[in-house]
Amino acid sequence: MAESYDVIIIGSGPGGYVAAIRAAQLGLKTAIVEREHMGGICLNWGCIPTKALLRSAEVLDHANHFKDFGLVLEGTVKPDAKAVVGRSRAVSARLNAGVGFLMKKNKIDIIWGEGKLTKPGEIVVGKSSKPVVEPQHPLPKNVKGEGIYTAKHIIIATGARPRALPGIEPDGKLIWTYFEALKPDALPKSLIVMGSGAIGIEFASFYRSMGVDVTVVEVMPTIMPVEDAEITAIARKQLEKRGLKIFTSAKVTKVEKGAGSITAHVETSDGKVQQITADRMISAVGVQGNIENLGLEALGIKTDRGCVVADGYGKTNVAGIYAIGDVAGPPMLAHKAEHEGVVCIEKIAGLPHVHPTDKGKVPGCTYCNPQVASVGLTEAKAKELGRDIRVGRFSFAANGKAIALGEDQGMVKVIFDKKTGELLGAHMVGAEVTELIQGFVVAMNLETTEEELMHTIFPHPTVSETMKEAVLDAYGRVLNA
């Protein structure tokens, strides 16, 4: 007899494991299927370990500017690649174990293997094709294994993987994905980063801080193309000041591999081709959903551009089958996946007043140096939609706390609807803006107007004061500029 559940979730990434916990909280008998490591890409190969690397880079950057703060540092501070990577993997392992603990605490069954939908309400779990290979990520104890399992509701939360360009496929040696970039045996002397989205620009920033000669190649006219162009222009200026070489409106047309190096043929917008040679290349040209071998085709589950089609509650076109997180399409962000998981489960449980996920209110954060964060419409998008807008800006150079911190290069930009005072978008570049952006996310979620923001008291001295000043600037009332 097949074991039966109320909910089975395929994938234990941020969307999957959070959905499982919420389901258990609501009294639903829940199981989660995982084939490789608890916590998914985010905890093991994405969000968390990259931030650990970037923290090492940040500390090193500060150490190299001790004199700016009137301090004397005896000797030389230099990176130890093995130790930096070791710390990152240890952080990942700690959180990986934490997810296993949360499953046990909430009485959620773990089924180890690869799940495949055979019909609505049923999945077959086979042997994993991806055995755990890292000693710091041991297989959880007391897990269930291969077999047939049934559930009233099945949630697909299988995440995504790096996308590859034909002819420039990663080989794990000379051409890396983020997997190899997270665990270099040694730091390369030079590096080409193909793609300047969040993943590409974060690795470019990290490796540059480590002393690597970094070149970024981006096919779009600006780096971080989904962000506001004015914000990314400031970020680019600061990144180039740190020594990064950046090509935009350019593409890698082919690569030539040497014994220990790679040469990229880079075609620029004027049709000219440059040959750039480096020790390694990172392919960061996006990700694609893990939709293969799930049985989607047999059940007639709709997909689009490599992702499962789902509504704001995670429902697919097949009753009882849901999809959340990266596999359900952009924005492919861990916090979006978590929120979708909670919304999906609460809808399944029949809770009243469950709101569908509003992707327009999902913040985006890029943890390069300087950081970039945003929520809502860019100025260009607002104009494209025909919105009559007011735009406010405030520079970190006019903020006392930023100057005291030695972090006076940055800006906050806000976009309001001129008629209603609705906050349409907020965009930031500078120190710790990934922590500040949530203030505007809350404001948008509460449908806060410009008047309410103007009457909010911000503590002084803080970098957060730039947020209020930007709002004031949009209405001609800026005080400190």
Which tokens in the block code for residue 396?
A: 């970190």
Amino acid occupying residue 463:
V
The response to whether 334 counts as a known ligand-binding position is yes
Distance CA 464, CA 87 (A): 31
The response to whether 80 counts as a known ligand-binding position is no
∠ CA 369-371-375, rounded to 5°: 165
Report residue 454: phi and psi, to 5°. -65, -30
Element (H, E) at 412: strand 411-417
Catalytic choice (65, 265, 355, 460) = 460
Which tokens in the block code for residue 129?
A: 């094709």
Residues 247, 200: contact at Cβ < 8 Å? no
The response to whether 180 counts as a known ligand-binding position is no
Amino acid occupying residue 169:
E
Distance CA 122, CA 10 (A): 12
Per DSSP, helices labelled H in 144-197 are 178-182
Helix (H, G, I), strand (E, B) or coil at 315: strand
The response to whether 218 counts as a known ligand-binding position is yes
The response to whether 146 counts as a known ligand-binding position is no
The response to whether 333 counts as a known ligand-binding position is yes
Which tokens in the block code for residue 22?
A: 């919420």
The response to whether 181 counts as a known ligand-binding position is no
The response to whether 153 counts as a known ligand-binding position is no
Which tokens in the block code for residue 69?
A: 């703060």
The response to whether 165 counts as a known ligand-binding position is no
Spacing of C-alpha 186 from chain mean position:
25
The response to whether 197 counts as a known ligand-binding position is yes
Amino acid occupying residue 286:
G
**CA neighbor of 227 nearest in space, from 198, 204, 251, 255:** 198
Which tokens in the block code for residue 210?
A: 């480590």
Residues 373, 198: contact at Cβ < 8 Å? no
Pairing of strands 364-366, 371-376: antiparallel
Distance CA 32, CA 144 (A): 10
Residues 369, 242: contact at Cβ < 8 Å? yes
Distance CA 174, CA 153 (A): 43
- Helices 433-445 and 465-474: crossing angle in degrees, nearest 10, is 50
The response to whether 281 counts as a known ligand-binding position is no
The response to whether 425 counts as a known ligand-binding position is no
DSSP state, residue 422: B
Distance CA 466, CA 446 (A): 20
The response to whether 295 counts as a known ligand-binding position is no
The response to whether 196 counts as a known ligand-binding position is yes
The response to whether 403 counts as a known ligand-binding position is no
The response to whether 159 counts as a known ligand-binding position is no
The response to whether 202 counts as a known ligand-binding position is yes
Element (H, E) at 379: helix 379-384
Is 427 an annotated catalytic residue? no
Distance CA 282, CA 288 (A): 17
User: Which segments are annotated as binding site?
Assistant: 51, 115, 195-202, 218, 286, 326, 332-335
Catalytic residues: 460
User: Which segments are annotated as binding site for NAD(+)?
Assistant: 195-202, 218, 286
User: Which segments are annotated as binding site for FAD?
Assistant: 51, 115, 326, 332-335
